[in-house]
């Protein structure tokens, strides 16, 4: 499954492809919208707020970070990481459904 997801990400060639890819998953859309207020949240908070199973949130966050839409502001810690929207993440929000 990881290869498939990685392959999809590699097929994103422009902004429109990125918007379509994000819109293909309610998980991705909900995480970006949940962080739209400019705040920071831990994965557990995001999972609860977005109604995502805790074991799935890690994959969603890793993917959005790889796409440059999220930032981890304290990557050096193992527990209690905090995520926020990147500038690109803020820009893409206006084009999401």
Q: What average pLDDT values come out for the chain (97 residues) when binned by 10 residues? A: 51 90 95 95 96 94 96 94 96 87
pLDDT (0 to 100) of residue 69? 97
pLDDT (0 to 100) of residue 12? 85
Answering whether pTM is above 0.75, one says yes
Q: Determine the structural domain holding residue 33 and report its residue range.
A: 2-93
Number of domains observed in the structure of the chain: 1
Instruction: Tell me the CATH number at 77.
Output: 1.10.10.10
pLDDT (0 to 100) of residue 96? 86
pLDDT (0 to 100) of residue 4? 45
Q: Which two tokens stand for residue 62?
A: 């890793």
- What own/partner pairs with CB < 8 Å and gap ≥ 24 does 90-96 have? 90/36, 92/15, 92/18, 92/19, 92/22, 92/32, 93/32, 93/33, 93/36, 95/19, 96/19, 96/22, 96/23, 96/29, 96/32, 96/33
């Amino acid at each position: 499954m990881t290869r498939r997801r990685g392959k999809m990400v590699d097929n994103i060639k422009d902004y429109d492809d990125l918007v379509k890819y994000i819109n293909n998953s309610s998980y991705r859309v909900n995480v970006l919208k949940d962080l739209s207020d400019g705040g920071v949240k831990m994965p557990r908070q995001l999972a609860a707020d977005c109604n995502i199973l805790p074991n799935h949130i890690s994959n969603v966050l890793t993917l959005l970070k790889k796409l440059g839409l999220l930032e981890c502001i304290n990557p050096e810690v193992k527990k209690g990481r905090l995520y926020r929207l990147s500038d690109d993440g803020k820009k893409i929000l206006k084009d999401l459904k």
